[in-house]
Amino acid sequence: EKNNYLLKTNDLVKKYKEYQAVNEVSMTINKGDIYGFIGKNGAGKTTFIRLATRLIEKSSGSLSFNSENVLKMGAVIEGPACYPYLSAKDNLNYYAIQKNIKDKKRIDEVLAFVGLDKVDNKKLFKDYSLGMKQRLGIGLAILDQPEFLILDEPINGLDPQGIVEIREIIHRLNQEYSTTILISSHILTELSLVATRYGIINEGKLVKELTKEELENECGQNIVLTSSD
């Protein structure tokens, strides 16, 4: 099934001077995957994500999207890019105008989807909880129904309830809209209920890839990540 992939990299490298932040990563994300990208702080997750979204240029190797429209991609990288002095709805309205989305129903649909429809419209983004902020970030990224959604550490720092809410959104996006999702985290267990496949990155290298079943079997054996976080 060689056309089933959505993102494929081959020996992808990003160097900063002599340091290889991403070191010969060959990764395949298939259509329909929820790919959990795990690594400690500084392992290279964000650099890989920035390469995938073309925020930065690779040093060598290849990266390809198997999509009719490579721009059908949504991403939340290093925190949600929202306007602090606007409400959730107005942030969405603002993006809708920029993205030329005319269907106003879509705003309410997205607000409900990310669980922000009951929030007082006078409450501004800056006063939201971290979980609400992350959910709005996801809302903005899914406004024009991307085929591929990239979320960089969306659950970092959230309380257990906040984590459950994000997991639920990810699960529903995948199930109801067939969205392929790449989600990074430095804590394996945070993703262990949501992702269908896992890639472990350490010092720029993709050191291991596992299915959900393999992970469940291996857990507690030789996967050591970080205990300091």
- The answer to the question of residue 137 lying near ligand ATP (CB under 6 A) is no
How far apart, in whole angstroms, are the C-alpha atoms of residue 92 and residue 107? 6
Site for ligand ATP (CB under 6 A): which residue of 43, 76, 96, 194?
A: 43
Which one of the spans 39-47, 113-121, 139-147, 174-182 is the region binding ligand ATP (CB under 6 A)?
A: 39-47
Residue from 25, 27, 38, 44 binding ligand ATP (CB under 6 A): 44
Nearer of residues 21 and 215 to ligand ATP, judged by Cβ: 21
Give the count of beta carbons closer than 10 Å to the beta carbon of residue 64.
12
Q: Which amino acid is present at 158? A: L
Query: Would you say 152 and 181 are in contact if contact means Cβ atoms under 8 Å apart?
Result: no
Least Å distance between CB 19 and ligand ATP? 6
C-alpha span between 73 and 151 (Å, rounded): 11
Positions in 143-202 near ligand ATP (CB under 6 A): 186
What does DSSP say about strands 34-38 and 197-202: parallel, antiparallel, or unpaired?
Answer: parallel
- For ligand ATP, which residue of 46, 134, 174, 180 counts as binding (CB under 6 A)? 46
Contact by Cβ (8 Å): 22, 74: no
User: Whose Cβ is closer to ligand ATP: residue 192's or residue 202's?
Assistant: 202
Q: Which stretch binds ligand ATP (CB under 6 A): 1-9, 36-44, 96-104, 190-198?
A: 36-44
Residue 16 as a binder of ligand ATP (CB under 6 A): the answer is yes
Identity of the residue, 21 or 141, whose beta carbon is nearer to ligand ATP in the bound complex: 21
* Helices of type H across the chain: 45-52, 88-98, 105-113, 130-142, 160-177, 188-191, 212-218
Inter-residue contact 7 to 191 (CB < 8 Å)? no
Q: Which residues contact ligand ATP by CB under 6 A?
A: 16, 21, 39, 41-47, 186
